Amino acid sequence: MASLTLDKVRKAFGPVEVLKEINLAIEDGEFLVLVGPSGCGKSTLLNLIAGLESSTGGEIRIGDRVINDVHPKDRNIAMVFQSYALYPNMTVRKNITFGLEIRGVSAQERDKAVADVAKLLQIEPLLDRKPSQLSGGQRQRVAMGRALVRDPDIFLFDEPLSNLDAKLRVDMRTEIKKLHQRLGSTIVYVTHDQIEAMTLASRIAVMKGGILQQFDTPQNIYERPNNMFVAGFIGSPSMNFVDATLIDNGGKLAVSIERDGGPITLPLFEAPESYKAYVGKKVVFGIRPEGLTHKRTGSDEPGSQYVNFDSKVEVIEPTGADTMTVIDIAGKEIVARVRPDRAPTPGESMTFSADMSQISLFDPETELRI
């Protein structure tokens, strides 16, 4: 096991810069998730770490070793692919030991290694089958077995769950997490699914357009997103964004939102220094659906973090545990999360509570967090 450092790593394909100066460092045993929309460069970054592509600039280090020019087979890494990439003409056993065989590991040691890994992943009955005879979940486990048997410093996962159906995906996710806890391995995991990122990672690296947007723990990224992209990308349903103006509401800062019939004024609960510069200016007000709920008890009391306002309800979407309620504020559709028994009827007007301790403000031009 080892740490991984990416120092000013760049990658260009001809004139096109696919990765622009990535700086990341994770410790031994961490679970790093690279997440972002397609084309953000996360798979390219993974390929660089694996050695399947070479970087145009910067250094990649595993432990203290600079591995930029080291062949993949000598980097002591293992990779699990989206399509598992199992060798179709070989049995599961041979699939797992192929790499060892190339390295000249003796037959005895190979057998032992396969037996250990098969036991760990519970694939012992599958050892003599061919990949075409396995289900998706079984193939996934064989692919992991192939990676595990190399006892690498770092595990690389390239969207391993994308090809599985929803239920299986959730099950495998838990298995991967359990494996990580058990083995304490260093893992770099690429996905476009932010739920996977949130549930699996010890730290998340959000990427867009080849640039690292934010690198932090899941909870921090969720509560304190660096910019509007991260705020909108992480969390489902995504954060609501409303154009607003930051005003001085009798000594206290508040957010004013335009609306037919008069503006809504939402006094802020906390006001860090950075807000002062934006008084009187336009801002983007961000609040997650769970921050907008039915009227809370105690919300009328002074000092409450909840601020109430009324709004007409456009659509309701029951999800069982909550009912998503869509309201229209100044032409923008906002989603609130309401308890099913307090759910309104479309067309009606209802009082909502906004939890002002859980909001974010963004600069409308730079889209950065204020």
Partner 1 sequence: MADLQTYSHDAGWKNTVLRGLLYLVLILFAAYYLFPLIVMISTSLKSLDEIREGSLISLPRVVTFDAWNYAWNEACVGVECTGIKVYFWNSVKMAIPAVLISTFLGAINGYALTKWRFKGANIVFALLLFGCFIPFQVVLLPMSQVLGKLGLASSTPGLVMVHVVYGLCFTTLFFRNYYVSIPDELVKAATIDGAGFFTIFWRIILPISTPIIVVSVIWQFTQIWNDFLFGASFASGENAPMTVALNNIVNTTTGVKQYNVDMAAALLTGLPTLLVYVLAGKYFVRGLTAGSVKG
Partner 2 sequence: MGASQSTESNLTARIQRHLSKIVVAPSFAASLFFVYGFILWTGYMAFSKSRMLPVWDWAGLRQYERLWQMERWHVAIENLLIFGGLFIVTCLIIGCLLAVLLDQRIRAEGALRTIFLYPMALSFIVTGTVWKWLLNPGLGLESMMHDFGWTSFKFDWLVNSDMAIYTVVIAAVWQASGFVMAMFLAALRGVDQDIIRAAYMDGASLPRIYFGIIIPSIRPVFLSAIVVLAHLAVKSFDLVIALTGGGPGYASDLPATFMYTMAFQRNQLGVGAASAMMMLATVMAIIVPYLYSELRGGKKNG
Where do contacts with partner 2 occur on this chain (CB under 8 A)?
69-71, 74
**Least distance between partner 1 and beta carbon 6 (Å):** 19
Work out whether 83 is an interface residue with partner 1 (CB under 8 A).
yes
Q: How many residues does the chain have?
A: 370
Given 102, 182, 273, 302, the residue binding partner 1 (CB under 8 A): 102
- Checking DSSP bridges between strand 77-80 and strand 31-35, what pairing results, if any? unpaired
Site for partner 1 in 236-255 (CB under 8 A): none
Work out whether 278 is an interface residue with partner 1 (CB under 8 A).
no
Task: Cis check for the bond before 237: say yes or no (omega within 30 of 0).
Answer: yes
**Least distance between partner 2 and beta carbon 350 (Å):** 44
- Rg of the chain over Cα atoms, rounded to whole angstroms, equals 25
Taking residue 70's Cβ as centre, other Cβ atoms within 10 Å add up to 15
- Among the listed ranges 97-105, 200-208, 287-295, 334-342, the one in contact with partner 1 (CB under 8 A) is 97-105
70 binds, among partner 2, partner 1, none (CB under 5 to 8 A by kind): partner 2
How far apart CA 218 and CA 61 sit, in angstroms, is 24
The smaller minimum CB distance to partner 2, of residues 62 and 268, is found at 62
Given 20, 70, 81, 312, the residue binding partner 1 (CB under 8 A): 81
The smaller minimum CB distance to partner 1, of residues 156 and 359, is found at 156
The smaller minimum CB distance to partner 1, of residues 163 and 245, is found at 163
With vertex at residue 40, the alpha carbon angle to CA 155 and CA 47, rounded to the nearest 5 degrees, is 35
How far apart CA 281 and CA 364 sit, in angstroms, is 10
The smaller minimum CB distance to partner 2, of residues 74 and 348, is found at 74
Q: What is the DSSP string of 320-331?
A: SS-EEEEEEETT
Work out whether 98 is an interface residue with partner 1 (CB under 8 A).
yes
110 binds, among partner 1, partner 2, none (CB under 5 to 8 A by kind): none
Site for partner 1 in 286-315 (CB under 8 A): none
- Checking DSSP bridges between strand 31-35 and strand 186-191, what pairing results, if any? parallel
How far apart CA 38 and CA 42 sit, in angstroms, is 8
Q: What is the DSSP string of 287-323?
A: E-GGGEEEPPTTTTSTT-SEEEEEEEEEEEEE-SS-E
Site for partner 1 in 132-191 (CB under 8 A): 146
Residue 194: alpha-carbon gap to chain centroid: 4
How far apart CA 360 and CA 370 sit, in angstroms, is 8
C-beta of residue 80 within 8 angstroms of C-beta of residue 172: no
Work out whether 89 is an interface residue with partner 1 (CB under 8 A).
yes
The smaller minimum CB distance to partner 2, of residues 65 and 276, is found at 65
83 binds, among partner 1, partner 2, none (CB under 5 to 8 A by kind): partner 1
Given 1, 12, 70, 85, the residue binding partner 1 (CB under 8 A): 85
Binding site for partner 1 (CB under 8 A): 50-52, 72-73, 77-79, 81-83, 85-89, 98-99, 102-103, 146
